[in-house]
């Protein structure tokens, strides 16, 4: 984030870049893999993109959204954005965590996360029992303002967080939490547990992220991933209208098989896959419905429930379309 640029200029750029009427304003990466040269072309002369998990070249066009093209691998079922945006850094600016500009991000990150405390405590209980009852060093990747780090510290973990948004990381540090600005590759040291909660679907290179986690974990250390499950019944039923299809925020959509394949190839053994229901604030639910349907009444309801007196109202939601995966480094 460039501190010289004013907030209003950034807002305008964001709106321009992520407007939903086509590709205008979005820059994309050129293909990096030399292997693409040898791939067969489709009838219109365009080579299909390579699957990030199985390397297959038989991906089908799935849908276009927010100016991004989504493909689905016929081999392993991975859904992915191609080409990737040049940079996702600007998306995770101040606006993402406190403004929900152009339909992205959180209205207020900490308030939106508050109802998730019971689910997060369940995660910590599962991690602790996998570590044989001990707590140890925990690194939360994509820690935002340190919401999960704070809970982990309270539960007895020696926890710290890494966060790409300097704005969010600085808010966490302001609350006395050990949140470093950067990515997993910038972190030194060895950990007993690494958590990636609602993170892996956002990163440009999930394989590199998981490989990096393996290098930062001690032998038999635990990696926890929470991510949308594109193989879930709800996701399959909704198809292109699944509310978690929201590029350029979400770039990859895994299922239980291909996330397992990626983890095993990076040196992990999956020991638990499950679904853990979360609660959400009502304003967050209406904001998601507004983004999903573009219907104005949902926007007005989101504003109503965003008022101070109603902003903490929350309800449990379990569409069973998120997976919680716990893996152990071999
Ligand atoms: Zn594949």
Residue-wise pLDDT tens for the chain (330 aa)? Answer: 333 333 333 333 333 333 333 333 344 443 333 333 333 334 455 667 999 999 999 999 999 999 999 999 999 999 999 999 876 666 666 556 554 444 445 546 666 677 788 889 999 999 999 999 889 999 999 999 999 999 999 999 999 999 999 999 999 999 999 999 999 999 999 999 999 999 999 999 999 999 999 999 999 999 999 999 999 999 999 999 998 999 999 999 999 999 999 999 999 999 999 998 776 777 777 887 887 778 888 888 888 877 777 777 777 677 789 999 999 999
Query: What is the CA angle 53-41-82, rounded to 5?
Result: 40
CA of 52 to the centre of ligand 1 (A): 6
CA of 177 to the centre of ligand 1 (A): 39
CA of 71 to the centre of ligand 1 (A): 10
Q: What does the alpha-carbon distance between residue 38 and residue 66 come to, in Å, rounded to a whole number?
A: 30
Q: What are the tokens at 24?
A: 């205008």
Question: What residue ranges of the chain are covered by domains with CATH 3.40.50.150?
Answer: 106-280+314-329
Contact 205, 173 (CB under 8 A): no
CA of 79 to the centre of ligand 1 (A): 8
CA of 250 to the centre of ligand 1 (A): 17
Q: What does the alpha-carbon distance between residue 300 and residue 268 come to, in Å, rounded to a whole number?
A: 46
CA of 39 to the centre of ligand 1 (A): 15
CA of 80 to the centre of ligand 1 (A): 10
Q: Closest Cα partner for 222 from 129, 119, 146?
A: 129
Report the pLDDT value the prediction gives residue 282, as an integer from 0 to 100. Answer: 77
Contact 53, 63 (CB under 8 A): no
Contact 139, 160 (CB under 8 A): yes
Q: Closest Cα partner for 75 from 55, 103, 102?
A: 55
Report the pLDDT value the prediction gives residue 226, as an integer from 0 to 100. Answer: 96
CA of 269 to the centre of ligand 1 (A): 20
CA of 242 to the centre of ligand 1 (A): 20
Q: Closest Cα partner for 90 from 197, 199, 32, 16?
A: 16
CA of 81 to the centre of ligand 1 (A): 13
CA of 128 to the centre of ligand 1 (A): 33
Question: What SS3 state is found at 47?
Answer: coil
For residue 54, the Cα-to-chain-centroid distance in whole angstroms is 21
Q: What does the alpha-carbon distance between residue 202 and residue 227 come to, in Å, rounded to a whole number?
A: 10
CA of 62 to the centre of ligand 1 (A): 14
Report the pLDDT value the prediction gives residue 307, as an integer from 0 to 100. Answer: 77
CA of 4 to the centre of ligand 1 (A): 42
CA of 20 to the centre of ligand 1 (A): 27
Whose tokens are 């966060």? That residue is 163
Q: Closest Cα partner for 67 from 124, 116, 18?
A: 18
Fold topology of 106-280+314-329? Rossmann fold (3.40.50)
Q: Closest Cα partner for 127 from 214, 227, 222?
A: 222
Residues in a beta bridge with 81 = 70
Report the pLDDT value the prediction gives residue 243, as an integer from 0 to 100. Answer: 87
Convert 242-278 to b/e letters by CB count within 10 Å (16 or more is b): bbbbbbbbbbbbbbbebbbbbbeebbbebeebeebeb
**DSSP H or E segment with residue 327:** strand 322-329
């Amino acid at each position: 984030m460039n501190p010289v640029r004013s907030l209003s200029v950034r807002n305008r750029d964001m709106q321009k870049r992520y407007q939903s009427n086509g590709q205008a304003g979005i820059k994309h990466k050129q293909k990096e893999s030399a292997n693409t040269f040898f791939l067969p072309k489709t009838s219109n002369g365009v080579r299909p993109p390579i699957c990030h998990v199985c390397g297959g070249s038989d991906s089908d066009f799935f849908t276009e959204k927010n100016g991004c093209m989504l493909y689905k691998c016929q081999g392993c079922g991975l859904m992915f954005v191609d080409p990737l945006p040049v940079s996702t850094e600007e998306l995770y600016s101040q606006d993402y965590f406190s403004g929900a500009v152009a339909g992205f991000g959180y209205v207020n990150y900490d308030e939106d996360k508050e109802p998730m405390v019971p689910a997060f405590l369940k995660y910590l209980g599962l991690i602790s029992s996998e570590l044989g009852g001990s707590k140890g060093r925990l690194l939360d990747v994509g820690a935002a303002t340190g919401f999960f780090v704070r809970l982990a510290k309270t539960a007895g973990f020696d926890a710290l967080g890494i966060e790409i948004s300097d704005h969010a990381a600085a808010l966490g540090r302001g609350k006395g939490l050990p949140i470093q600005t950067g990515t997993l590759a910038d972190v030194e040291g060895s950990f007993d547990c690494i958590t990636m909660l609602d993170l892996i679907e956002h990163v440009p290179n999930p394989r590199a992220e998981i490989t990096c986690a393996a290098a930062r974990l001690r032998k038999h250390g635990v990696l926890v991933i929470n991510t949308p499950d594109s193989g879930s019944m709800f996701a399959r039923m909704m198809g292109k209208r699944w509310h978690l299809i929201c590029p350029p925020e979400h770039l990859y959509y895994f299922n239980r098989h291909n996330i397992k394949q990626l983890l095993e190839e990076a040196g992990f053994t999956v020991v638990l896959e499950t679904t853990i229901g979360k609660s959400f604030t009502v304003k967050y639910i209406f904001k998601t419905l507004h983004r999903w349907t573009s219907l104005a009444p949902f926007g007005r309801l989101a504003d109503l429930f965003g008022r101070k007196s109603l902003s903490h109202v929350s309800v449990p939601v379990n569409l069973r379309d998120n997976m919680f995966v716990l893996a152990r480094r071999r």
